[in-house]
Structure 1
């Protein structure tokens, strides 16, 4: 039992220690990288061609497809670990279940279910629309329900592609939707709040850390409640992180907050369709 309780502590302390460091130290370095500069250039070109909303739609669709392309082979690889990782972990937890702790986990794991998060999505959309009333008030009303739909159907595509089965006690499969839904719902809500209310980097770190803690705790409870294999949870955290990043970036594009590229592309020639150089 000590190992099981220690895992619960790690599920809380891990993101509390790692995520603020990523936000404060790593994120600014990543934003100034060459790859980020190229991405800004591509977004600038898309925005010039089809507008902010069109560019955001392309980012969301292309990014979701890229997440599937990454998480499909990941799911196949994780499936091969079932005999060596998932079943031994399942047997270990099952043999050491404590009724009181099992009831707590069964209660807590409900925070990642679709129905409660539908209400969170609706309330957050209305509250943030009021906060955005002097700007694009409709953006929260579109972005929050849309993230819910995108997560659900992207997860469904992955579960059908991988089709790995489920534990003997429940129907949960790859990837863990509870982890991904928490990251998506609160990640997009936090982004909408930050876009309309400038805050310090430390406050931003705290706001980003909160959904991460919820997701890792959700992952722990899904395993203890015997709803998912351990590798389903690992896959769900990776899937949710990647898809949340795509949704957040699409939202930033839609609001016109992507910084311009350092070296803006030359304007195309009206006659020949390519950049002209002087001699």
Structure 2
């Protein structure tokens, strides 16, 4: 039983200690990396061709397709771990359930259910639309409901194509929708908050860390409440992270917040051109 409590502590401590370091490095990489610059060039081309809204739609659709393409083989691969990893973990948890700890987990786990997150989505959409009333108020009004729908249908597609089954106690399957929904909903809220107010870097990293802790705890409760296999939760974290990144990028493109690519360096001097042309 001690292992169950130790894992609960780790579910909080690991993201609390690791995410701030990763977030700091990630932010620097996004600002200065070559890959980020290539993305800026591509997004600038899309925006020039289709406008901000059209480019955001292309990013969202292409991103969702990419998430499915990546997470599909991942789901097939981890499905093979079910008899070797998922069953032993499930059996251990089932044999060591304790009444009060079960009640705690059953209380926390519904945070990732669709019903409560529907209300979070509605309140956030209206709240940010009011806060954005002097700018593109329609972006949060569209983005919040859209993230809910995108997560639901993308997760459903993956569940159908992988079709790995579910634990004997619940219908949860790959990838964990609870983890994905928490990431998508609060991740979209976080980016809208960052676009609404000038949040200091430390505050922004703190909010990202808090979200990571929440998602980690949600995954733990899904396992303890016997709603998902262990690998479903890992898949949900991976799936939710990718899909949230796609949604965040689409919002940034729609609001025109993507940094413009650097101007290309000149390929030669005037004298060089004259020598080449013979003038």
Q: TM-score, normalised by structure 2?
A: 0.93
- Tell me whether 129-138 or 21-30 shows the greater mean CA deviation: 21-30
Aligned to 1:271: none
C-alpha distance in structure 1 between counterparts of 2:207 and 2:18, whole Å: 14
Partner secondary structure for residue 48 of structure 1: helix
3-state DSSP of counterpart to 1:227:
coil
Tell me which residue corresponds to 2:186: 186
Unaligned runs of 5+ in 1: 267-277
The match for 1:5 is: 5
How many residues were matched structurally? 268
8 Å CA contact retained: 1:12, 1:217? yes
How far off its partner does 1:104 sit?
A: 1.0
Q: Does 1:50 align with 2:35?
A: no
Q: How far apart are residue 264 of structure 1 and its match?
A: 5.1
- 1:166 pairs with 2:166: yes
Question: Which stretch shows the higher mean deviation, 191-200 or 21-30?
Answer: 21-30
Aligned ranges 1:99-248 → 2 under 5 Å: 99-248=99-248
Q: Distance in 1 between matches of 2:212 and 2:118?
A: 19
Q: Is 1:66 matched with 2:66?
A: yes
Q: Which moved more, 1:29-38 or 1:236-245?
A: 29-38
Residue 26 of structure 1 and its aligned partner are, at CA, apart by: 2.8
Q: Deviations over 1:134-163 (max 9, x none)?
A: 111111110000000000000000000000
- The whole-number CA distance in structure 2 between the counterparts of 1:61 and 1:48 is 18
Q: How far apart are residue 32 of structure 1 and its match?
A: 1.3
Q: RMSD of the TM alignment (CA)?
A: 1.4
| CA drift at 1:31 | 3.0
Contact preservation (8 Å) 1:24, 1:202: no
Residue 41 of structure 1: aligned partner: 41
CA displacement at 1:30 relative to structure 2:
3.4
CA shift, 1:188, in A, is: 0.4
Q: Which residue of 2 aligns with 1:86?
A: 86
Runs of 5+ consecutive residues of structure 2 not aligned to the other structure:
267-275
Q: Deviations over 1:12-61 (max 9, x none)?
A: 11111121112222321233111111110000001011100100000000
Separation in structure 2 between the aligned mates of residue 38 and residue 263 of structure 1, nearest angstrom: 12
99-108 vs 142-151, greater mean Cα deviation: 99-108
CA deviations on 1:144-198 (whole Å, 9 max, x unpaired) are 0000000000000000000000001110000000000000000001101101211
For structure 1, which segment, 52-61 or 255-264, has the greater mean C-alpha deviation from structure 2 after superposition?
A: 255-264
Please report how far the alpha carbon of residue 265 of structure 1 lies from its aligned counterpart in structure 2 after TM superposition: 10
- Could you tell me the TM-score, scaled by structure 1's length? 0.93
Q: 1:100: how far off?
A: 1.1
Instruction: Specify the structure having the higher radius of gyration (Cα).
Output: 2
Rounded to whole Å, the distance in 2 between the matches of 1:240 and 1:264 is 35
C-alpha distance in structure 2 between counterparts of 1:163 and 1:209, whole Å = 32
Q: Give SS of 2:60's match.
A: helix
**Conserved? CA contact 1:41–1:265, under 8 Å:** no
Q: Residues 74-118 of structure 1: CA distance to partner in whole angstroms, max 9, x if unpaired?
A: 000110000100000000101110011111111110000000000
Q: Please, which moves more after superposition, 216-225 or 8-17?
A: 8-17
Moved over 6 A (4+): none
